[in-house]
Every structure is written in C-alpha cells, then in structure tokens.
Amino acid sequence: MLIVVRHGRTPANAAGQLLGRRDPELDELGRAQAAAVGIAIPTAARVISSPLMRCRQTAEAISTSVEIDERLIEVDYGDFEGLAIGDVPAATWAAWRADTAWSPPGGESHDDLAARMWPLLDELGDEAAERDIVLVSHVSPIKACLAWGLGVSIDIAWRAFVQQASILRIATNGPAPSLRSFNETHHLAHLD
C-alpha cells in the first residue's frame, strides 16, 4: 500500500500563505498533528519524505529511518511564494485552473509536477504491492498522487482539498492502482 501523508501545520499555513519551497518548521499544532499521524500509520518498512523540514519532522514522527526524495517537494510557486492566497488576483487563479501547463512566474506548472511525481509512483508501485510505503509530502504532490491513483488528469488538483496531516491510501496490488482512502483525518479528532 502507498500511504501518502501531508505534513503538519506551519506558521505560514496558519497565516494562509502559499508555501512552496520555503522551509519553516512545524508549529505547536503541527507537531501534535505529526505525533497523531505517527500513531495512525502502521509500522512501515519504508518511509520517504520531501526534503523540506515540515515533511521531515512529520516523517520522523512515523519512523526513525527516513529516506529523502527530492521529487516529493512542494510545487514551486515562483513569484507567488509567501503571498496570502487572497492576494493572488482572481484572473490569475482562473488562468491557472484553465491550463495545467500554466505556471506562476518563475514557478512550476501542474504538468511539471505530474512529470516528476508520476514516475516516482510508478517506480514504487510493485514494492508497495508487497509492503507499506509511506510518502510524506505537500498539498500539490498529494493531489498528483490522487490523480495517479485514479488514472485521471492532473487538473483534478483543483477539485480536491488536502487537510494538514491527512492520509491518502492507494493499493497497488491489482491490475491498476486503486484509491482506498483520501483525506483521512480521524486520527486528528482529539486536536480540534
């Protein structure tokens, strides 16, 4: 099973900022969310994380043995990095939603994201059919995992919400990937 986890909350997440390649640590709630994920995830033979601190801290709550894979890094927001979501003009959001090849100035498109994420998932599929592999990543790569698991276009990213410290599960032991759960948050109920 591929078990895909979003990192816990950071101060930038709490402030509603676009957080791509900046590297803040988890805040107090984020650390509690990571600990809750660590309890909810079965002991895994393999845990792979984005190189960014918020993911590494979440991954370390799951396992003491964490591999790093650069492909799990968040989408590059380019010139939009750090902006409040509400400060991005509506016309810009519309252009972004209309074209998966569109990217923020200096940033990365959804097509670019899929081009780096889907080969990683293809590589891990056979192994994940035999044992659990946990991937700790960010909103956009997790949406790419969802699209891969469903066998649909990356434009589904605009139709999905990924909660902090949520869990996505994709089985790979059949003829095609099979989505088993999305946006699991039951393990966080005590934190509300």
pLDDT in tens, 44-97: 679 999 999 999 999 999 999 999 999 999 999 999 999 999 999 999 999 999
What backbone torsions phi and psi does residue 11 show, to the nearest 5 degrees?
A: -60, -35
* Range list of H helices, the chain: 11-14, 28-40, 53-60, 90-98, 110-130, 139-150
Q: Hey, what amino acid is at 24?
A: P
* Total domains present in the chain: 1
Mean pLDDT of the residues in the chain: 96
If you average pLDDT over residues 169-180, what whole number do you get? 96
Q: What is the pLDDT of residue 44?
A: 66
Look up residue 186 and give its DSSP letter: G
Structural domain of 73: 2-81+89-191
Q: What is the pLDDT of residue 42?
A: 78
Please indicate whether residue 7 is annotated as part of the active site: yes
If you average pLDDT over residues 138-147, what whole number do you get? 98
Catalytic residue among 25, 60, 74, 184: 74
**pLDDT for 31 beyond 90:** yes
Query: Among positive and negative, which fits the CA dihedral 136, 154, 158, 42?
Result: negative
pTM given for the model: 0.96
Q: Model confidence over 116-125: pLDDT tens digits?
A: 999 999 999 9
Residue 15: CATH number of its domain: 3.40.50.1240
CB 77 within 8 A of CB 22: no
Please indicate whether residue 28 is annotated as part of the active site: no
Percent of the chain residues topping a pLDDT of 70: 99
Percent of the chain residues topping a pLDDT of 90: 97
Q: What is the pLDDT of residue 131?
A: 94
Quick count: other Cβ atoms within 10 Å of Cβ 25?
14
